[in-house]
Amino acid sequence: MKKSTFVAMILGTIGGILFALGMCVALIPEWNAFKQGVVMGVIGAVVLLIMVLVWRKMENKNPIKVSAKTIGTVLWGIIGALALGVGMCLTMVWSHMMIGIVVGIVGIVLLLSLIPMTKGLK
């Protein structure tokens, strides 16, 4: 395993766990920890951003060019992840089983559509 891959794996795991735990803590009203959850989620997102920058630097890749396609792809991914998360919350926390399943499936389809959107079809 290359050193850059190992560093990206460790930072990605830490950032992903912090982000996921933060969002879970923020969305469970019984815990009364919304602000703490948001702070933890933001810290996780920052660690994930640092991971991307460190990995690109270690791989000697060019900086990411910000274009309309890049911004659209990122927004598409955010919307897909939020739809999947809202579907899971509807199913598990708020007991709206069928609506949650439908919203979750929409989120999964949005996230799966990122692959042909970024890599293209051959």
How does pLDDT run along the chain (122 residues), one tens digit per residue?
A: 899 999 999 999 999 999 999 988 998 888 899 999 999 999 999 999 999 999 999 999 988 889 999 999 999 999 999 999 999 988 888 777 899 999 999 999 999 999 999 998 88
Q: What is the pLDDT of residue 29?
A: 86
pLDDT of residue 34: 93
Per-residue pLDDT, 65: 85
Q: Which amino acid is at 120?
A: G
Give the whole-angstrom CA distance, residue 83 versus residue 86: 5
pLDDT of residue 75: 96
| Alpha helices by DSSP H, 28-96 | 34-58, 68-92
Cα distance between residue 80 and residue 64, in whole Å: 22
Instruction: Look up residue 89 and give its two tokens.
Output: 């919350």
pLDDT at 19: 95
Q: Structure pTM?
A: 0.66
